[in-house]
């Protein structure tokens, strides 16, 4: 079980040949849109969804009737027909929903790309809208008990009666193992939230714009669920993001610089649960991220050294930090040392990460804001722009079946 | 210290357990009799955790339930400083125990303060009635 992960040897003999991949270099993201990110929107999720979609359509220079496909999260609370009707889209011929919460953040891109690559549809809009701060909060157990104990995830019955009821705790268990096995210190972990908060200071759309923190602030912040402190946690957000996917051929006729999809991948390794995966031989790593990364590198035919900037899905600091190891930006167990002082992950460093502020300091739109920032880095329009970006990576939520994309310049 | 439950709040657990997740009912029936049972594949002998209707290694659908020794080690844990649900009073810890059989299960420690928890500490099972209709397997330090 998980032999490839444990031995760190990814085999390609049974995987689809790269030459046959219809997505690679043939599909692009051409329009991006978002609402304001707030902590109390005073709006419903439909209103935010259609605003972000309209913004993405306008950004691409398309008309609403051009959009003929729609893609969203299974766990989005909106009914898709309502979104389509509200927007007045007349030509929808392809719809799809992707499961696994934040793990689907880039799977949505992949599914949309597969649909346009096969000619099933021309322009697919992907969106996510949520009142995570003012509405139902995933980080609060009482908000989710009924949902989580339903048939879809019945194994939670083995966890909930013990008060083991929130994502922070589920992650804290493997986080503590990781700290224990590799001697990772609290001081080292603190650099991730500090650098992301710095990035947010240049991004006027970030929730924590105008509210910098120092490393000392991090160290003094309260513990929420040991081993995770307040500043280790993502910022629950109200807001929506959308983007549009089409073929590279069509993209070249549109007004924006296309962000071409060099590779898109999903990963669903063995012994998968929804965030509580403790039966694996190793729980101190992010197995899904490793598999997604290996598949991305295999398809793209590049390695970690070729990636210029990365948006790594970080619902909590450790979820981002360990990805540095699993994606090969540093050695296994070395990520604590790698981020010390922050320079390696700042703009200008070895691998600049989460340049909009990430889920910790920009917004938690379930990873959609990371995809949009990945596109901006290709366009050259990020508020923390990395010089001469050729390849821009985005990953999705760990601890669930996950996904990732590598974007490149046309 | 175990979890202190708020008596006025219902502890969240699946009421329709036997309908939603039949594979797990022998485990909970065992707990009612102070037994910690583990599901095992009859064909290849692998432990199946969490319980399930098919062995992922050999695809056999024949299982048996065998008693665990109840002994193990603390594999990892977390401590809630704020309560995430009204049924539980913070602070409290949730722990991951690695049983001697190699199976890992989530539980709570009894009579141990969060600051006394140490990865690798030997533990053994004990059973706690936490509500009229719910007994849970918990763990104490091995004497």
Q: What is the mean pLDDT of residues B94-118?
A: 96
- Give me the count of residues in chain B: 143
Q: What is the pLDDT of residue B5?
A: 87
| Measured distance CA(B129)–CA(A83) in Å, rounded | 48
| Measured distance CA(B2)–CA(B11) in Å, rounded | 15
Higher pLDDT, B2 or A188: A188
User: Minimal CA–CA distance to B77: which of B91, B60, B57?
Assistant: B91
The structural domains of chain B, with segments of one domain joined by +, span: 17-67, 69-143
Q: How far is CA A167 from the centre of its chain?
A: 16
Would strands B92-99 and B71-80 be described as parallel, antiparallel, or unpaired?
antiparallel
Q: What is the pLDDT of residue B53?
A: 92
- A149 interaction partners in chain B (CB closer than 8 Å): 12-14
Q: What is the mean pLDDT of residues B111-115?
A: 91
* Beta-carbon contacts of residue B57 (< 8 Å; ≥ 6 apart): A1, B41, B44, B46
Q: What is the pLDDT of residue B13?
A: 74
pLDDT tens-place string over residues A162-176: 999 899 999 999 999
CB contact under 8 A, A157 and B13: yes
Query: Is residue A296 within a helix (H) or strand (E), and if so which, with residue range?
Result: helix A287-300
Q: What is the pLDDT of residue A101?
A: 86
Counting one residue from chain A and one from chain B, the pairs whose CB atoms sit within 8 A come to 119
Dihedral pair phi/psi, residue A228, rounded to 5°? -110, 130
User: Chain B within 8 Å of A150 (Cβ-Cβ)?
Assistant: yes
Active site residues of A: 313, 364
Q: What is the pLDDT of residue A160?
A: 87
User: Chain B within 8 Å of A152 (Cβ-Cβ)?
Assistant: no
Residue B9: pLDDT band by 50, 70, 90 thresholds?
confident
Q: What is the pLDDT of residue A272?
A: 79
| Measured distance CA(A229)–CA(A302) in Å, rounded | 36
Q: What is the pLDDT of residue B7?
A: 81
Q: What is the pLDDT of residue A152?
A: 56
Q: Which of B21, B104, B114 sits opposite A279 (nearest CB)?
A: B104
Q: What is the pLDDT of residue B33?
A: 95
- For A251, the token pair is 């993209």
Q: What is the pLDDT of residue A96?
A: 96
User: Chain A within 8 Å of B122 (Cβ-Cβ)?
Assistant: no
Tally DSSP H helices, then E strands, for chain B. Answer: 2, 9
- B114 interaction partners in chain A (CB closer than 8 Å): 226
Q: What is the pLDDT of residue B77?
A: 97
Mark the ranges of chain A whose per-residue pLDDT is less than 70: 1, 141-154
Q: What angle do CA B79, A101, A208 make, to 5 degrees?
A: 65
CATH code at B69-143: 2.40.50.840
| Measured distance CA(B35)–CA(A127) in Å, rounded | 49
CB contact under 8 A, B88 and A163: yes
- For B72, the token pair is 């193990």
Q: What is the pLDDT of residue B15?
A: 61
Comparing alpha-carbon positions, the chain B residue that sits nearest to A165 is B84
Q: What is the pLDDT of residue B6?
A: 87
Which residue, among B10, B12, B130, would best test binding to A if mutated, counting the most A CBs under 10 Å from its CB? B12
Per-residue b/e over A175-196, b at no fewer than 16 CB within 10 Å?
Answer: bbbbbbebebeeebbbbbbbbb
* For residue B14, pLDDT beyond 80: no
Query: Is residue A69 within a helix (H) or strand (E), and if so which, with residue range?
Result: strand A69-73
Q: What is the pLDDT of residue B16?
A: 59
User: What are the distances in angstroms from CA A251 to CA A8, A56, A218, A256, A330?
Assistant: 37, 14, 43, 8, 35
């Amino acid at each position: 079980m998980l032999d490839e992960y444990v031995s760190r040897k990814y085999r390609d003999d049974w995987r689809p040949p790269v030459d046959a991949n219809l997505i690679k270099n043939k599909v692009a993201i051409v329009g991006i849109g978002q609402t304001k990110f707030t902590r109390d929107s005073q709006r419903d999720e439909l209103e935010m969804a259609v605003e972000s979609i309209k913004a993405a359509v306008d950004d691409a220079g398309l008309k609403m009737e051009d959009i003929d496909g729609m893609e969203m999260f299974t766990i989005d609370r909106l009914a898709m027909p309502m979104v389509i009707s509200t927007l007045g889209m007349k030509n929808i011929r392809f719809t799809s929903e992707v499961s696994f919460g934040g793990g689907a953040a880039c799977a949505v891109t992949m599914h949309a790309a597969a649909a346009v690559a096969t000619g099933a549809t021309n322009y697919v809009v992907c969106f996510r809208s949520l009142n995570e701060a003012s509405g139902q909060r995933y980080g609060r157990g009482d908000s989710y008990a009924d949902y989580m104990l339903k048939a879809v995830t019945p194994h939670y019955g083995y966890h909930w009666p013990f008060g083991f009821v929130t994502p922070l705790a589920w992650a804290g268990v493997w986080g503590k193992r990781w700290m224990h096995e590799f001697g990772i210190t609290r001081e080292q972990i603190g650099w991730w939230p500090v650098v992301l908060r710095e990035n947010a200071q240049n991004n006027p759309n970030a929730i924590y714009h105008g509210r910098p923190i120092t490393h000392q602030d991090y160290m003094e912040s309260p513990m929420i669920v040991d081993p995770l402190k307040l500043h280790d946690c993502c910022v629950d957000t109200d807001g929506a993001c959308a983007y549009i996917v089409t073929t590279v051929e069509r993209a070249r006729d549109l007004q924006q610089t296309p962000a071409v999809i060099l590779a898109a991948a999903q990963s669903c390794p063995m012994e998968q649960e929804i965030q509580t995966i403790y039966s694996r031989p190793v729980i101190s790593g992010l197995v899904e991220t490793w598999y997604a990364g290996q598949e991305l590198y295999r398809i793209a035919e590049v390695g970690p050294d070729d990636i210029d900037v990365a948006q790594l899905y970080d619902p909590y600091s450790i979820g981002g930090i360990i990805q540095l190891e699993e994606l090969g930006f540093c050695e296994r167990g070395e990520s604590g040392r790698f981020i010390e002082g922050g320079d390696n992950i700042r703009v200008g460093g070895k691998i600049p990460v989460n340049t909009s502020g990430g889920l910790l300091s920009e917004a938690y739109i379930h990873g959609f804001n990371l995809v949009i920032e990945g596109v901006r880095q290709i366009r050259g329009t990020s508020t923390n722009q990395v010089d001469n970006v050729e390849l821009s990576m985005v990953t999705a939520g760990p601890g669930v079946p996950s996904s990732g994309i590598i974007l490149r310049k046309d | 210290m175990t979890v202190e439950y708020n008596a006025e709040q219902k502890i969240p657990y699946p009421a329709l357990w036997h309908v939603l997740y039949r594979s797990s009912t022998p485990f909970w029936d065992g707990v009612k009799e102070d037994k910690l049972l583990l599901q095992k594949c009859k064909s290849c002998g692998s432990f199946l955790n969490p319980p399930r209707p098919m062995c992922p290694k050999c695809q056999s659908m024949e299982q048996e339930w065998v008693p665990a020794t109840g002994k193990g080690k603390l594999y990892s844990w977390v401590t809630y400083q704020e309560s995430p649900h009204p049924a539980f009073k913070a602070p409290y810890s949730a722990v991951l125990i690695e049983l001697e059989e190699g199976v890992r299960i989530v539980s709570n420690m009894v009579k141990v303060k969060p600051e006394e928890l140490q990865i690798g500490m030997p533990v053994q099972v004990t059973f706690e009635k936490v509500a009229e209709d719910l007994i849970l397997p918990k763990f104490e330090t091995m004497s």
